[in-house]
Amino acid sequence: MQHSTQRPATDSGTVTIGGDLTVYRLGFGTMRLTGPGIWGPPTDRQEALAVLHHALDLGVNLLDTADSYG
């Protein structure tokens, strides 16, 4: 796994959502962790977990788990 220049999510500032939940402005969209499809197991479960853990290590505290947008 290669990463470009890394900055913590805390650098993005915060926003309050839902009236009382404060999160960093930089979130992580998890939809593609399952691979090329929308649902189902990831192609490489260990790699998907490593990506998720890396986001958390960088301070991400908003995980977008939507399976579609529109």
User: Would residue 24 show up in a list of annotated catalytic residues for this protein?
Assistant: no
What DSSP letter does each residue of 46-68 carry, written as one string?
HHHHHHHHHHHHTT---EE--S-
Catalytic residue (choose from 1, 68, 69, 70): 69
Q: Which of 27, 17, 19 is nearest to 59 (CA)?
A: 27
H or E stretch covering 45 = helix 45-57
The residues that are catalytic are 69
